[in-house]
Structure 1
């Protein structure tokens, strides 16, 4: 037995992305624990959480709304990545790797959302 969302590639990729962000934040300064570290972790986790929550709803319109929340959370992660790069917590290489991953994931979520019709 499995949940519908477990079969979704966007959910699987967002789960992996969240783990990548978590590992990245392990090297952030301790004084950022309740600021940037917490913010980027919550935003990256929210991507998969919203996909899973939306997928179990009966209404496709509501599912599209939750996919929109995932997209917004992903945009929040990108902004946090910029903050981390600007503050020299991550390298340019780390930034661009996750930035490109973010861009790809966002395009996949948008494409999937466009296929979900009422």
Structure 2
């Protein structure tokens, strides 16, 4: 069993989640149940799956939860790009978010590989 609060991937994904919440505050009200909700749910999913997976008894089970977290990260990337296309995210935030997300995906993938 791993201590998720000590994992750098959990810390970074938690910070990223907070950033998503802040960025989506400026989204149009009509997106409250659209992209805003989707982005927030997916961003919460990343650190949540890391935390839940860390409680599993086997590394194989933990690796599966990390795989789900990575899937959520790719979902977020798509939603960020769509949000940018629609003018909801400025170019500065887009670059920052995609760079943060890329780092989280790489770190999580590398960590997952050590478990298999």
Identify whether the pair has TM-score above 0.5, normalized to the shorter chain.
yes
Unaligned runs of 5+ in 2: none
Counterpart of 1:98 in structure 2 is 97
**CA distance in structure 2 between the aligned counterparts of 1:97 and 1:4, rounded to whole angstroms:** 28
1:14 corresponds to 2:13:
yes
Q: 2:78 corresponds to which residue?
A: 79
TM-score normalised to structure 1 length: 0.95
| In structure 2, C-alpha distance between the alignment counterparts of 1:57 and 1:94, rounded to whole Å | 35
**Partner residue in 2 for 1:88:** 87
Output the CA distance in 2 between the equivalents of 1:108 and 1:56. Answer: 19
Residues in 2 aligned to 1:5 and 1:101: alpha-carbon distance in whole angstroms: 19
Mapping for residues 30-45 of structure 1, pairs under 5 Å: 30-45=29-44
Rounded Cα–Cα distance in structure 2 between residues aligned with 1:4 and 1:96: 31
Q: What is the aligned length?
A: 115
The alignment's C-alpha RMSD in Å is 0.9
Distance in 2 between the 1:43 and 1:64 partners? 18
User: Deviation per CA, 1:50-74, whole angstroms, max 9, x where unpaired?
Assistant: 0000000101111000000000000
**Distance in structure 2 (CA, Å) of the matches to 1:6 and 1:104:** 18
Q: C-alpha offsets along residues 43-97 of structure 1, whole Å, 9 cap, x if unaligned?
A: 0000000000000010111100000000000001100100110000111121111
Report the Cα distance in structure 2 between the residues aligned to 1:4 and 1:97, rounded to whole angstroms.
28
- The secondary structure found in structure 2 opposite 1:90 is coil
Question: What secondary structure does 2:56 align onto?
Answer: coil
Give the 4+ runs in structure 1 shifted more than 4 A: none
